[in-house]
Structure 1
Amino acid sequence: MIHTSSLLEELECSSCGCTYLPSIVHTLSVCCQAPLLSRYQLAPISKERLLTRPKNLWRYRELLPVIDEENQVSLGEGYTPILSLPQLARRYDLPSMWLKDEGLNPTGSFKARGLCMAISKAKELGIQTCIVPTAGNAGVAMAAYCARAGLEAIVVMPDHTPEAFKEECRAYGAQVIVVHGLINDCAAKVQELNQDGRYFDVSTLKEPYRLEGKKTMGYEIAEQFDWKLPDVILYPTGGGTGLIGIWKAFREMQTLGWLSDTQRLPRMVAVQSQNCSPVVDTFLGKQTNSRQYVGKPTLANGLAVPRPLGEPLMLQTLTESNGTAVAVSEDELVDGVGEIGKYEGMFVAPEGGAIWAAYKKLKQQAWLKSDDQVLLLNTGSGQKYLDNLKGKWSRRP
């Protein structure tokens, strides 16, 4: 017997709007080779029903794509805390600031959200083996959820990825393949290995469901702020599913009536490393798009995505929200990790350090207003990045 509450109706091509049935396996849209977006029957749903539900991402199950609840593969992901940063606010004479700590998810990063959903849907669709190119955290999350679901996992990582990521994947029983280069080189290896389509490729936005797991951050932000959204959200941006997903959630909540008619949506900020800043360069008009962009490795492994498939959707999010994109140096993001650790007692990932550095930069540029309520998103735990951060503390603020 199928126990369902999902309101999933169809999949929609993000480029032309052509629709597809969600009951069969899809990757990119056939029409445009573009990412597919899940669309729901967004009839009014009372948000009060959330009050009695467990505090994990499945509390939003009507707005998630898994049809049969028996296929929900879970390790307790979601509903991560939003914490104030009082010492940093006092130190820099800033208004109230907040940080949502995604490092407290299973496997230590926000990737648990997306891979939880992708693997749950893969299980529902009868898939046996999943494959992913990854800078680190996505591979770890996929391996963990495949193990939980009883599926096989193949993870393709750059050779410079810290050993902690590789060993954790192996601990979950995944096959780990190491490639010289960045994640785009890993993607090419995945394509080579999967020429006959025997594996399900859960690369960023090449299937529709990682995005749906990531969007739950947006629902949580609204709920945790008592349905009054912050003015600005700073987000570390590599493949972009989190940025796109949070914005998708806000738009869905508008349709659902969960946000008031007068609620202004946050300005979204994409933060990247100067070593790999394709979205920043495109947003600022330095290039037409990132299809030929050549990046370099960064201590923030998750930001080393030189040619993101989701660039058009990211640019749409930034434009619709009146947001911006900013790149920070490697030294700045290391200093950011150090400051958050020293003054707030949180060991954030380098991506989280980049967010704090970007905040200070935007404040200096007066892009941020003095009374803006700002939310920073730390996407992972710093524990796995010890190889990257070792010996860097001599520059500590």
Structure 2
Amino acid sequence: MGEGTPDRMVCTACGATTPIERVPSTCPECDGILDLFLGEKAGDARAPSPAGASEGLWVWADHLPHCKPQNRITLGEGNSPLLAAPRLGKALGVDDLWIKNDSLQPSGSFKDRAVALATSLACEYGRDAMVLSSSGNAGASSAAYAARAGLPLFVLVPKTAPPAKLRQIVVAGAHLVTVDGQTHDCCRLAKEAAETMGWVNLTTTYHNPYGVDAYATIAYELAALKPDVLLLPISSGPLLGGMMKGFERLKRLGLVDRIPRPIAVQTAACAPIVAAYRSGGAVEPWAHQHTIASALNDTLAGYERDGDYTLSFIRRHGGAAVAVDDQAIVEAVRLTAACEGVVLEPSAAVPIAALRHARDALGITGDERIVAVTTGHGLKDLSTVEEAALPTPIAPEFGALEPLLKRTY
């Protein structure tokens, strides 16, 4: 890296420093969450500015960990569409609503940002395999990037993971392991496997500390819009933590004059961070329940501290945390698609559901600019569209078609 301090990982609990060359998952001293500190050559000397779309996430290379160009693994991730959503806003009673559609990534979810960076570091530091726990999206993403890098990958998923996401994992050649348990069981096993085998842990909780700074790139892409409020779907919350780190960096550089308020949205069936926000206390593990928002169904059992770390960003920046039920989520999927043509999986639609069904808790005023970050493509999970909603075939004659046309217009 030349002169200056190197990239390093610092524990948020005990303060111990770990060299990034170890590609660590958690603190070797106390198992705490690691925070990435960039070296001088990759730090705040220059404002974040993209170099070229073909580089994927690495257009922000000066604000990511050092990685030689030949080890930068990309499928063209990042730079997702930022869409004004006036029709949806009108339906929800919001004047200035935008959608940052991060579902339009190579594997169909925002996870590609975190996985691209962690896979690149695995190549940079000579690791020969990777492993992760996933409810589906991170596994599909990791399978794609592992194939791109030519690295073996083991994906541990709970038995409740959506079949469409499992097919994405299998088709890319990853080793899929279905666990008769919950997401937190898979997370524990992935951590043990990474430590035992010396592999990189891609699990996109805070067990993948590089992913947090990969999500900071969303903040860089949003900076010019100057949002007031961010609506974010979360389970453990590295998306929120990363975006807040990104805006904090922009503020230090004088590129934004304020940091938007983060609002974390969870499903009511699994809302440990919302419960802690309401009580003012620490995060406690949630009892597992079924929810249509499977990507958010992480009880945080065994790593509740991840939720506490996310809460620290929410509280520091005057944010909030709310929960919405499955019925509201289904309604949000349909409303977003019908109003704006944006088709989302249920977990990605929870920010839209919050605008309609948890409005009082959001503290939004009429003149604020709101950005909903949507995180997973609807083609991954169309369980919200019942087969009964599909039409029966008609005879191939205009006489059969004409009544339908006249009924519509």
Task: Decide whether the 8 Å contact of 2:23 with 2:121 is kept in 1.
Answer: no
Aligned ranges for residues 136-147 of structure 1 at < 5 Å?
A: 136-147=136-147
Is 1:122 equivalent to 2:115 in the alignment? no
State the match for 1:267 in structure 2: 261
Contact 2:116 2:145 in 1 (8 A): yes
Give the TM-score taking structure 2 as reference length.
Answer: 0.87
The SS at the match of 1:12 is strand
Larger Rg: 2
Task: In structure 1, list runs of 5 or more residues that go unmatched.
Answer: none
Q: 1:60 to 1:318 in 2, by over 3 A?
A: same
Measure how far apart 1:142 and its partner are.
Answer: 0.7
Query: Cα offset for 1:27?
Result: 2.1
- Counterpart of 1:301? 294
The 1:53/1:287 distance shift into structure 2, 3 A limit, reads closer
Q: TM-score, normalised by structure 1?
A: 0.89
1:393, CA displacement in angstroms?
8.4
**How big is the shift at 1:190?**
2.8
Partners of 1:351 and 1:286 lie apart in 2 by 25
Match of 1:350 among 323, 346, 349: 346
| Larger CA deviation: 341-350 vs 182-191 | 182-191
Give per-residue Cα distances to partners, 1:122-168, cap 9 Å, x unaligned: 11111111111101000011111011001001001111111111111
Greater shift in the superposed pair: 341-350 or 196-205 = 196-205
Structure-2 separation of matches of 1:21 and 1:205:
17
Are positions 1:378 and 2:379 aligned together? Answer: no
Q: For 1:373 and 1:50, how far apart are their aligned partners in 2? A: 24
Q: Secondary structure at the match of 1:98?
A: strand
Counterpart of 2:80 in structure 1 is 80
Change (3 A) 1:17 1:366: closer
How many positions carry a matched residue from both structures? 382
Name which of 292, 300, 315 aligns with 1:319: 315
Alpha-carbon distance between aligned partners in 2 of 1:84 and 1:272, rounded to the nearest angstrom: 24
Q: Specify whether residues 46 and 384 from structure 1 end up closer, same or farther in structure 2 by C-alpha distance, changes over 3 A only.
A: closer
Identity %: 28
Relative to 1, partners in 2 of residues 1:8 and 1:238: Cα closer, same or farther, differing over 3 Å? farther
Q: Does 1:208 align with 2:205?
A: no
Q: How does 1:235-254 map to 2 (within 5 A)?
A: 235-254=232-251
Q: Secondary structure at the match of 2:155?
A: strand
DSSP 3-state at the match of 1:108: coil
Asked if 2 retains the 8 angstrom alpha-carbon contact of 1:86 and 1:96, the reply is: yes
Q: What is the match of residue 406 of structure 2?
A: none
The 3-state SS of whatever aligns with 2:147 is helix
In 1, Cα distance between equivalents of 2:318 and 2:277: 12
- Paired position in structure 2 for 1:232: 229
1:212 offset after TM fit, Å? 2.1
Q: CA deviation at 1:18?
A: 2.8
- Equivalent residue number for residue 27 of structure 1: 25
Whether the 8 Å contact between 1:349 and 1:378 is mirrored in structure 2 is no
Moved more, 360-369 or 321-330: 360-369
In 1, Cα distance between equivalents of 2:246 and 2:4: 15
Which residue matches 1:95?
95
Q: Taking structure 1 as reference, are residues 134 and 94 closer, same or farther at Cα in structure 2, changes over 3 Å only?
A: same
Q: 1:289 aligns with which of 283, 298, 307?
A: 283
Give the drift of 1:13: 1.1
Q: How far did residue 354 of structure 1 move?
A: 1.1
Q: Which of 369, 391, 394 lines up with 2:386 in the alignment? A: 391
Structure 1 pair 20–135 and aligned structure 2 pair: CA distance change class (3 A): same
Cα distance, 1:116 vs structure 2: 0.5
Partner of 1:332: 328
Report deviation, 1:21: 2.1
Find the residue that maps to 1:272 and give its secondary structure: strand
Aligned-pair CA distance for 1:55: 7.4
Shift in CA distance, 344/128, structure 1 to aligned 2, threshold 3 Å: same
